[in-house]
């Protein structure tokens, strides 16, 4: 028994040390930094000056912060409704009796295999381009001259263009999670409901949906984390200077820490405060999902 415990300790110790160095220490340091006046993230802790909640007051007084929070809320709400609805629709279709279902699964999931940089570049240069983009040529061919002249990357449309491109690339990931949940539902339930006279629509609303509560909770949690961490797409759609239509809290945090044309004086302490606020919102969402959405009562 002692030998077994020694072996367990020998194998676990390196993992615990690496986990602490890579995750625990940065989290602790970030929380501490949010209560100090820190100009650069590399500044020694001996030079930090305690300022209490001043960093939080600074970001809450910033119009950029609230603009970024408004953008991320719209990404989470509108994008979440679109992505999860389309993902569920594809999941229901691809778990039915259709031909080439494996091909369709692979094709839809392909957008998750391709890097975000490549996907964003495709949308920017080959779909939204005002001179030779797909949308321009399509609307021009169909005779919709006004739509063909729309500046999809203009300041009034860039947020919605970015959001749709991001949602398009995210559907496949959540679709696979829905598929795994649907495939776990016993076929006996569908057979029994068919005998009782339920059609496909009633089976979906009275059998499939109630038994996907746990899967919905998982997808909502993952979507919240991905939405809060929205960064790459913003930098691709606004590579030089972040606009009001593309800025998100992660981008604002990055600019506070490393500087930009908008933020000339770096403030790592305020950036750490943004990270703590975002973490707090994710935790609130996680506990809310667990409280509101109960797991299904089906025992497999």
CATH number at residue 181: 1.10.3720.10
Structure confidence by residue, pLDDT tens digits, 200-230: 888 888 888 888 988 999 999 999 999 998 9
Contact 28, 40 (CB under 8 A): no
What is the model's pLDDT at position 299? 46
Contact 60, 150 (CB under 8 A): no
More confident residue, 265 or 268: 268
Query: Distance from CA of residue 235 to its chain's centroid?
Result: 15
In a domain, 299, yes or no: no
Structurally, the chain folds into a number of domains equal to: 1
Tell me the mean pLDDT in the region 147-173.
91
Beta strand extents in the chain (DSSP E only):
36-37, 49-50
* pLDDT, tens only, 120-142: 999 999 999 888 889 988 998 88
Domain that holds residue 149: 65-292
Residue 190 domain-assigned (yes or no) = yes
Whole-number Å distance between alpha carbons of 28 and 24: 6
Q: Which residues contact 218 (CB under 8 A, 6 or more apart)?
A: 177
- The string of pLDDT tens digits covering residues 83-110 is 999 999 999 999 888 888 888 888 999 9
Residue 182 and residue 264 in contact, taking contact as beta carbons nearer than 8 Å: no
The answer to whether 70 and 62 have CB atoms below 8 angstroms apart is no
236: left (phi over 0), alpha (psi -120 to 50) or beta: alpha
Strand, coil or helix: what is 228? helix
Is residue 2 very low, low, confident or very high in pLDDT (cuts 50, 70, 90)?
Answer: low
In a domain, 26, yes or no: no
Using alpha carbons, select from 75, 72, 56, 77 the residue that is nearest to residue 276.
56
Sign of the alpha-carbon torsion through 210, 206, 172, 226: negative
Give the residue among 191, 220, 201, 196 at the shortest CA–CA distance from 287: 220
Give the single-character DSSP code of 296: P
Q: Identify whether 36 is part of a domain.
A: no
Note whether residue 91 is domain-resident: yes
Cα 261 to Cα 248: distance, rounded to the nearest angstrom: 16
The answer to whether the CB of 95 falls within 8 A of the CB of 175 is no
Residue 235 inside a domain? The answer is yes
Tell me the pTM: 0.88
Output the pLDDT for position 300: 41
195: pLDDT strictly greater than 50: yes
Residue in this structure with the two tokens 């006046």, named with its chain if needed = 37
Residue 23 belongs to some domain of the structure: no
User: Is residue 266 one of the residues assigned to a domain?
Assistant: yes
């Amino acid at each position: 028994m002692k030998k077994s415990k020694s072996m367990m300790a020998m194998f676990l110790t390196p993992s615990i040390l690496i986990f602490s160095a890579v995750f625990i220490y940065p989290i602790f340091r970030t929380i501490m930094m949010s209560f100090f006046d820190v100009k650069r993230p590399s500044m020694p802790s001996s030079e930090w000056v305690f300022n209490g909640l001043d960093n939080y007051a600074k970001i809450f007084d910033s119009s950029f912060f609230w603009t970024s929070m408004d953008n991320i809320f719209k990404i989470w709400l509108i994008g979440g409704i679109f992505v999860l609805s389309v993902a569920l629709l594809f999941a229901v279709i691809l778990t039915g009796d259709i031909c080439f279902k494996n091909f369709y699964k692979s094709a839809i999931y392909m957008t998750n295999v391709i890097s975000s940089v490549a996907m964003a570049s495709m949308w920017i240069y080959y779909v939204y381009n005002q001179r030779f983009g797909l949308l321009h040529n399509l609307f021009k061919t169909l005779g919709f001259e006004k739509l063909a002249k729309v500046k999809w990357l203009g300041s009034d449309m860039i947020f919605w263009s970015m959001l749709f491109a991001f949602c398009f690339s995210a559907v496949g990931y959540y679709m696979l999670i829905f598929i795994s949940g649907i495939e776990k539902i016993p076929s006996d339930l569908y057979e029994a409901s068919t005998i009782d006279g339920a059609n496909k629509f009633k089976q979906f609303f009275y059998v499939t949906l109630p038994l996907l509560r746990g899967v919905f909770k998982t997808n909502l949690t993952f979507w919240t984390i991905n939405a809060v961490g929205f960064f790459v797409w913003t930098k691709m759609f606004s590579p030089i200077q972040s606009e009001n239509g593309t800025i998100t809290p992660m981008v604002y945090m990055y600019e506070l820490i490393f500087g930009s044309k908008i933020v000339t004086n770096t403030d790592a302490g305020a950036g750490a405060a943004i990270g703590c606020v975002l973490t707090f919102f994710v935790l609130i969402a996680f506990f809310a999902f667990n409280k509101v959405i109960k797991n299904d009562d089906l025992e497999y």
